[in-house]
Amino acid sequence: MHEKTGDVIAIVAWHTPRFCIDSGAVRQASIETITSSGYAYAKTRKLGQPIDDTVRHHVASIIVKHRGTAQKNIYRAIEYTYIYESADGESRSAMAHGYVVHIGEFTVFIQHTANRVITSDIAQSMAMDLAFVESNKLTPLPNGWSASISR
């Protein structure tokens, strides 16, 4: 948790060699894996606040290209934004931006949660960096890799 803002960045990785981003289990996990507090459910065993509004929840592609070669890797991802509203008046409302990316045999959940309005920049950069590192690991090439999101 960030000391001044209270923002939480959570990253959870599951070994899922037989799943893909389009599977129902992964789609459901994108809702339940990281709670409204920004912490992983497996750690807290608390469900947190229910999602009040889903701003977006769709499949996108992270495209990693090498400038000097024709090398291109595409990673499918779920991109989402949730609003958690306080129903009891005691807990604070929250906003979360997240990405679920399938890398190799792992499904990685990345979520930025805050008690204020935030942009998706932090979670998006982390997801693109993860794809970038995996691409460079698969095909070690000198400088020239770039990543973008296609919706």
* pLDDT tens readout for residues 56-110: 999 999 999 988 888 899 999 999 999 988 766 666 789 999 999 999 889 999 9
Which residue intervals of 2-94 are DSSP H helices? Answer: 24-32, 41-44
Q: What is the pTM of this model?
A: 0.86
Report the alpha-carbon angle 69-74-75, nearest 5.
145
10 Å CB burial of residue 98 (0-12, 13-18, 19+) is buried
Query: What per-residue confidence (pLDDT) applies to 43?
Result: 52
Query: What per-residue confidence (pLDDT) applies to 109?
Result: 94
Q: For 53-57, 98-102, 136-140, which range has the lowest pLDDT when averaged over its residues?
A: 136-140
Q: For 24-28, 30-34, 40-44, 93-97, which range has the lowest pLDDT when averaged over its residues?
A: 40-44
The answer, yes or no, to whether residue 121 has pLDDT greater than 80, is yes
Query: What per-residue confidence (pLDDT) applies to 64?
Result: 94
